[in-house]
Amino acid sequence: MGSSKALKLRTGVKQIFRVPSRAFYFLYIDDFFIIIYLQLFRKVFKLVRSSDIMGEMTITGHYFREYIETMERGELDALIDERIQYTVNYAAENSPFYKKWFRDQRIKPENIRSHEDLLELPIISGKTIRNYQPPEMPDFFFRSVDWNDVYTIHETSGTSGTPKSFFLTWEDWQRYSEKYARIFVSQGFVPGDRVVICASYGMNVGANMMTATAHEIGMTIIPEGKCTFPVRVIQSYRPTAIVGSVFKLLRLARRMSKEHMDPRGSGINQLVVGGESFCEESRKYLAEIWGCNVYNTYGSTEGTMCGECSDLNGLHVPEDLVHLDVYDPRLQQFVSDGECGRIVLSTLLPKGEKCGTLLLNYDTEDTTAVITRDRCNCGRTHMKVVTPQREAETVWVAGSPFNKVDVERGVFQRNNMEYLTGEYEAFLYGGHDEGETVLRVSLECIDPENCDKSGIKENFIKTFFLFKPGLAQSYDDETFKVIFHFTGPEELELYRIKGRPRRLVDRR
Ligand SMILES: [Zn+2]
C-alpha cells in the first residue's frame, strides 16, 4: 500500500447498534473493517481537555485522570501524606474552629505528617459542626476562607436537627466535580450521553455538582430534580441514563409500563443510584426491570464522592481528594481491611488550593468495610469499599444488630417480586411480654387479592435470619417475633410522610 493511497483512505467510526451498556462500532479503513465494541473504542479514543489549575487533564474515555487514578500504591500513599500535611496546616491557619482546636488539644499541626498520625487527632461529628455555627454561635467556625472566596453555600438535608452549613469555593467545585467526573467515566459514560438527574437541586451538593460535571465529560443534562417527571420526557429527549434512587426508579418503571412503554426498550443504558444504602437483590431487580447496569454512588455534602466502576464490585474512593478511615465502633482504632466499621473522613487539599469548609477526622455515622487497596479490574488503584450503611438505620434486638438493608433483602427475594412492588416499611415494637420484641413488616402488593402471602413470608424469614444466629435464636425461643402486613398500592404509611422515607423505624 503506497503512501499516496494511504492519504486517501476512507477511515472512520460509526455506531451500528447498541444493546444495554454496550455499543457496537463499525470501524472502516478503506475496504477493511472491524466491529469493535464500546469499551475497546473508549480505550483508544482520547479526548483532551484544556488544562486548568489541576494541570493537564486527559479523558481517555476509560479514565478521567489516568495518571492519578492508576497511580501505584506507594506513590499514591506519598501523595496522600503530602496532602494531609498541607491540609492540616491550611486548617490551622484558616479555619477558626481548627485554630482553637489545635490550641486546646495542644497539638502541633507540623507533627501530623502521615495518614496514621490522624489517629492521634480527636474525632468530630455533625453535632460539632452544628455547635460551631448559628444559631449556637455568632459565626460559622468551620468556614475557612474569606466571604469573597465563597462561591456557593450548601446545607445538608437536616434529617437530624439543624442543617449543617457548607461553604464551597470555586476550587471546591472543581474538585467535587472532578470526583463525579471520575465516577461517571468509570461507569462508561461518554460524550453525547444524555442524563436525567432525579436527585434534588437546591441547597444540597449532588445534583448541582453532577450538572457541572457533565460539562467536563461532554454530556447533556436533563435537570428534572425529581423522578416524577412525565414519561414523554423519555420519548422526546431520548436520555441514555438516569440518576435517581432505587425506589424512585422502580416507581418510574411502573409508571412507564402503565403508559405502555417498556423501560427495557426506552434507550436507557445506565442507571446511577445513590443517596441511600440498598441490598444487592434490589439492585439486581432494578437492573432486570430496566435491562441495564445499575451503578452505585455514595456522595455527601462533606465531600465523599465514591462510585462503582464497570467492575460493579465496590465503590472506589478518590483517595487523593478525600481521606477515608474505617474505625471500630468506639472510634478508638482503625479496623483491618475487610472488617466493618465507621467511616471517618478528612478533606485532602492539593498544595496551594483553598477550601471553604474543611473537615479533619469527621465521623459520618455511616459504616463500611474496605474491600481492597489493590488494582481493580478496571485498572484503578484507589481503594474500594462496600456500599456504606447508615448507623441510624441499624437497630439492636437482644444484643444483635440488623440494618434496614437486611429487611430489604428479605423483601426483594426474586420470587416475592412476582407479587410485590418492592415498597416496604418495618417497625419495631416492644411485645406484650417483658423482653419481647416485634418486627412488623408492611409490604405493598401489586394486587393484594392475588398474592402468595405464605410464600413471601417464608422467603423473607429464610433470608433475614441467614447470617444472624443470635437473632435466629431469639426468633426460635419467641422473644423476637416477625409479623407481616400486606397492603394495596400506596397504602403504606410512608406515602403520607414528606421527605426521605424511613423504612425501619424503632418504636420501642
Ligand atoms: Zn474499578
For residue 314, the CA-to-ligand 1 centroid distance in Å is 8
pLDDT at 183 exceeding the cut of 70? yes
Tell me the mean pLDDT in the region 224-230. 95
Can you list the positions of beta strands (E) in 31-122? 32-37, 47-52, 55-59
SS3 80: helix
CATH code of the region 394-506: 3.30.300.30
For residue 45, the CA-to-ligand 1 centroid distance in Å is 19
Grid cell of 386 as nine digits: 462496600
For residue 272, the CA-to-ligand 1 centroid distance in Å is 15
SS3 36: strand
For residue 466, the CA-to-ligand 1 centroid distance in Å is 29
Q: What is the pLDDT, as a whole number, of residue 329?
A: 87
Q: What is the pLDDT, as a whole number, of residue 7?
A: 39
Hey, where are the domains in the chain?
A: 3-45, 394-506
Q: What is the pLDDT, as a whole number, of residue 262?
A: 97
For residue 383, the CA-to-ligand 1 centroid distance in Å is 9
pLDDT at 77 exceeding the cut of 90? yes
Amino acid at 408: E
> Nearest to residue 84, comparing CAs of 128, 49, 117?
117
For residue 230, the CA-to-ligand 1 centroid distance in Å is 35
Q: What is the pLDDT, as a whole number, of residue 159?
A: 66
DSSP-derived secondary structure letter, 376? P
For residue 313, the CA-to-ligand 1 centroid distance in Å is 8
Q: What is the pLDDT, as a whole number, of residue 497?
A: 84
> Nearest to residue 127, comparing CAs of 88, 160, 166, 94?
160
For residue 120, the CA-to-ligand 1 centroid distance in Å is 31
Task: Convert the pLDDT of each residue in 299-314 to its tens digit.
Answer: 888 888 999 999 999 9
Grid cell of 145 as nine digits: 476562607
Grid cell of 343 as nine digits: 467511616
How far apart CA 320 and CA 348 sit, in angstroms, is 7
**How many CB atoms within 10 Å of residue 379?**
15
For residue 217, the CA-to-ligand 1 centroid distance in Å is 19
For residue 379, the CA-to-ligand 1 centroid distance in Å is 6
Q: What is the pLDDT, as a whole number, of residue 37?
A: 45
Q: Which residues have CB under 8 Å from 254's CB, separation 6+?
A: 421
**What number of helices (H) and strands (E) belong to the chain?**
14, 26
- pTM comes to 0.85
Q: What is the pLDDT, as a whole number, of residue 403?
A: 93
| Alpha-carbon distance values, 387 to 99, 200, 278 (Å) | 34, 21, 8
- Could you give the strand order of the β-sheet that contains 389-390, starting from the edge strand earlier in sequence? 322-327, 341-347, 362-368, 389-390
For residue 65, the CA-to-ligand 1 centroid distance in Å is 14
For residue 310, the CA-to-ligand 1 centroid distance in Å is 6
Can you list the positions of beta strands (E) in 223-269? 241-244
For residue 187, the CA-to-ligand 1 centroid distance in Å is 9
For residue 374, the CA-to-ligand 1 centroid distance in Å is 10
